[in-house]
């Protein structure tokens, strides 16, 4: 099963509800294109909802890092919402949990955009 993504806008934030697998190949390519497309439209505040992500591999983690740095380099913010235990553990193991701004409440996550990281 590949990755599926549904986009919705809350205030100025683009929330991307993702499900399935972010793995080498289709899943990673889809995520890359999604982020590129939003940046192309001038949407630089992205919240990735990973609640229904069933599998992520090292390439998928790399793609999240790439998305994070690409958005940051363009002056935007990319945050993560609703990590499953598996994704949470992977980000802990790879020391990326503190790199990403991770939330488990959508409304609160939306409220943190526009503020400096860690504020």
Partner 1 sequence: MTAEASVIEVELESDLKNVEVAEEITRRVSGTVGFSEDDQHKIDMAVHESVINAIWHGNKNDPGKHVWLRFQMFSDRLEIRIRDQGNGYDPSKLPDPLAEENLLNVSGRGIFLLRTFMDEFRVEGIAGGGTEVILVKRINSNNSAQSRRNEP
Question: Which positions touch partner 1 (CB under 8 A)?
Answer: 23-25, 57-59, 61-63, 65-66, 68-69, 86, 90, 93-96, 99
Q: Supply the minimum distance, in Å, between the C-beta of residue 108 and partner 1.
A: 26
Tell me the torsion sign for CA atoms 13, 48, 72, 32: negative
Half-sphere exposure of residue 116: CA atoms within 13 angstroms, side-chain side: 1
Nearer to partner 1, 13 or 31 (CB): 31
Q: Cα(60)–Cα(75) distance, rounded to whole angstroms?
A: 23
Task: From residue 21, give the alpha-carbon distance in Å to each of 79, 85, 118.
Answer: 18, 15, 29
Q: How far is the CB of 106 from partner 1 (least distance, A)?
A: 26
Q: Is the Cβ of residue 12 or residue 54 nearer to partner 1 in the bound state? A: 54
> What minimum distance in Å lies between the beta carbon of 86 and partner 1?
6
Residue nearer to partner 1 on the CB measure, 39 or 90:
90
């Amino acid at each position: 099963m590949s990755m599926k993504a549904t986009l919705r806008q809350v205030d100025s934030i683009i929330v991307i509800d993702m499900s399935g697998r972010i793995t080498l190949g289709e899943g990673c390519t889809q995520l890359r294109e999604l982020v590129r497309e939003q940046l192309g439209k001038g949407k630089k505040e992205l919240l990735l909802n990973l609640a229904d992500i069933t599998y992520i591999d090292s390439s998928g983690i790399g793609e999240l890092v790439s998305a994070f740095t690409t958005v940051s380099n363009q002056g935007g913010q990319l945050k993560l919402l609703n990590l499953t235990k598996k994704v949470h553990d992977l980000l802990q193991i790879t020391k990326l949990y503190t790199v990403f701004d991770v939330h488990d409440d959508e409304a609160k996550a939306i409220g943190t955009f526009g503020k400096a990281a860690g504020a």
